[in-house]
Amino acid sequence: MIVYFRKEGRALGEVTKYLVYNARKRAAGGDTASDYFKRTEFIAGVKDMRFQALMPDTLHWLGITKIDRMLSMSHHKHDAIVESGIVIKERVPIPEELIPEDSRVEIDAKIASGYFSAAKKVTEADLVHTKGRNWDDIHH
């Protein structure tokens, strides 16, 4: 079974999402992972509006008691599911080769803030020093 929880743009709404994306694209020095969440907080006032605590209710309603393999970077989603009593046997990372180059800023920002990944743990210090550098220079 595949379950997709639709919460586009961290549940901030389409207009706010576009304001954030445009601010990121127009930022002096370009879009950077170190400023990814800062821009969202500046425009929206919060980093993320999703409320994950009720999300597992749908899984319980479907009778799900365990998940063999879960593909999600979100530690919030993972924690909400596990705390609701559903067992997750394995977390599956997004394969690096499937992450588009133009998504690197977002992915690196998420990894640095604690999201799940099989890649090298990106730290805030890494983000500050990556401006203008290639992904391969940083991670290999």
Catalytic residues: 48, 50
Q: How far apart are CA 85 and CA 128, in angstroms?
A: 38
Which residues touch 105 (CB under 8 Å, ≥6 apart)? 24, 31, 32, 33, 36
Residue pair 17/44 in contact by the 8 Å Cβ criterion: no
Beta-strand pair 87-92/66-71:
parallel
